[in-house]
Amino acid sequence: MTKRYRIRADIQLPLATAIWVLGAHLYALLVPLVLIAAVNHHWDALAELTAYPVLFYVAAGVMMAGSAFEVSQNSLDHWYLTPETGSAEGTGFCDFMFFWLIVVSQGLVAVAFMGNHLWVVALAIFFTLLFPFMYLRQTMQNLPLSVLGILAIATAYLSLGDPIVVLQFALSPLTMFFFGCLLKTGNQVLHGFTTLTASSGVWFLAWGIHGGSMGATQSWVIVALVVVVTAAAAALLRPALSRLAPTPRPQALGG
């Protein structure tokens, strides 16, 4: 007689928290479709403004594949993040593949914008190939993603002329803000916020594609205001978030 499958054994979160966290990961998996839509809509302009616009489609697909590996790593960790889990500060094959694919996607975005410049292609290839060695050694493994993330944003701005793409920078510290509070408190609701902020940069990229293609770019004043307001909100929220109680596992509740 076969045993019944109990999903709670694999998703060790209270129901409402599980819906929120899994919903955030579904969003992360699907949000690259926004980039595809923007490229489709502005293809003619991008053919003039960028080097290899077809690579945006490849980058979006790689982002989605990376998110699938992230979901797999979270599943291995039963969706309950603690510092030692592969989804947090630990290691794991799916975690490795997730980050490597995100590194690849940033390199592809940079080459899509300015791949007609050899130095852009060289940096993209070098740091993409460097990442596995740094991850395996657990030495400055965030460096390739940081460099290629900056390269992708820089090439986007140089190609589109819309400073809104720079707001992707702001999402990195905001992601680490929620991630730090998550590991400090053990409150798994923050996992959802971490995922949402980490994956939302594509909106600013798509916005920049729209603005640059239509000649309707945003001002640096708007970008600065968004950064200041976001930083102030995070500072105000930090004390309250740091006092959140850890999320109980369902087994601890009898079930």
- Position 255 scores a pLDDT of 40
Q: Please tell me the pTM assigned to this model.
A: 0.92
Average pLDDT, the chain: 93
3-state helix, strand, coil in the chain (%, to 5): 75, 0, 25
pLDDT > 50? residue 254: no
pLDDT > 50? residue 31: yes
Under the banding of pLDDT at 50, 70 and 90, the label for residue 8 is confident
Q: How far is CA 31 from CA 113, 201, 204, in A?
A: 20, 9, 12
- Position 4 scores a pLDDT of 77
- Position 2 scores a pLDDT of 63
Q: What is the pLDDT of residues 103-129, one digit of tens each?
A: 999 999 999 999 999 999 999 999 999
Q: What is the pLDDT of residues 189-208, one digit of tens each?
A: 999 999 999 999 999 999 99
- Cα(158)–Cα(163) distance, integer angstroms: 9
Q: Return the percentage of the chain with pLDDT > 70, whole number.
A: 97
- Cα(79)–Cα(96) distance, integer angstroms: 17
Strand ranges for the chain from DSSP E:
none
CA angle 19, 22, 24 (to 5 degrees): 105
pLDDT > 60? residue 1: no
Residue 4 tokens read as 């019944």
Under the banding of pLDDT at 50, 70 and 90, the label for residue 78 is very high
- Cα(137)–Cα(131) distance, integer angstroms: 10
- Cα(98)–Cα(76) distance, integer angstroms: 14
Q: What is the pLDDT of residues 131-176, one digit of tens each?
A: 999 999 999 999 999 999 999 999 999 999 999 999 999 899 999 9
φ, ψ at 141 (rounded to 5°): -65, -15
Q: How far is CA 154 from CA 61, 147, 217, in A?
A: 22, 10, 15
